[in-house]
Amino acid sequence: MKSSVRMFAFVGMLAAAACGDDGVAPGNLTEEEAQELATAIFSQSLFDALTLNYEQPAQSPGGPQLAMYTATVETTGDCPLGGTVAIDAVIDVETDDQTGAGTIDFAVDLVHAACVVQGDMGTQFTLTGNPDLGFDFLMTTDAEENAEFSGGVSGSLMWSAENKDGTCSIGYEFSGSSSANGFSFQTAGNVCGTTFSESFSFSG
């Protein structure tokens, strides 16, 4: 499906945009570490969602061009540096197979188990669900390959990094758009006691 393929191009841009310098220092995480953790969680959650394997229902020859269906996925994936994450996802899809226009909506529940991820500054975080994180991602594309997307991350988990550990509440939202003329991304919320907002854009 064209819409699914397009989303993979967003992974690097969204991950880079999630890291910012604003905020109030949390308890036993420095501001930089909190931003790193936010980036690592965002990147891994987005990757987990976009790499889920699900099948589009078969259509009869000459059938309608507009496909609408819901897929469910329950699986366990490996984390990049060790540990696992249990994934329970519902994916709602509406797409025009001829033009590529459509909408895809991910609602993903993530339960980390000693899942090791690395932030953009090199810090390694070990994540364990307490109890879980919810990740939502909605993207709409048109026939000209313009896209708008939005979503959020919420929940709680236990983390450890070097000589620090704690339980972290997560709650932030993001939105953006992509076209032949450029890309924009905005995010705001709270990660481990740090309130932040960040925006990122470039012109094509």
Residue 98, helix vs strand vs coil: coil
Q: What string of DSSP letters covers 38-71?
A: HHHHHHHHHHHHHT----PPP--TT--SEEEEEE
Residues whose CB is less than 8 angstroms from the CB of residue 112 and which lie 6 or more positions away in sequence, other chains included: 79, 83, 84, 85, 127, 128, 129, 133, 157
d(Cα 40, Cα 168) in Å, to the nearest integer?
14
E strands in the chain = 66-78, 84-96, 102-113, 115-118, 124-141, 147-161, 164-179, 182-191, 194-203
The confidence score (pLDDT) of residue 132 equals 96
Asked whether 150 and 168 are in contact (CB, 8 A), the reply is no
Residue 17, helix vs strand vs coil: helix
d(Cα 202, Cα 62) in Å, to the nearest integer?
41
Q: Per-residue pLDDT tens, the chain, 204 aa: give them.
A: 444 444 444 444 454 444 443 333 344 677 777 778 888 888 899 889 888 887 766 665 565 566 788 999 999 999 989 999 999 999 999 988 788 789 999 999 999 999 999 988 899 999 999 999 999 999 999 988 899 999 999 999 999 998 888 898 999 899 999 888 899 988 888 888 887 777 878 886
d(Cα 31, Cα 25) in Å, to the nearest integer?
5
d(Cα 55, Cα 66) in Å, to the nearest integer?
16
d(Cα 46, Cα 19) in Å, to the nearest integer?
14
The confidence score (pLDDT) of residue 118 equals 92
For residue 87, what are the β-bridge partners? 75, 110
Place of tokens 């994934």: 87
Domain assignments of the chain as residue spans, ordered by start: 2-54+66-203
The β-bridge relationship of strands 115-118 and 147-161 is: unpaired
Query: First-to-last CA distance in the chain?
Result: 24
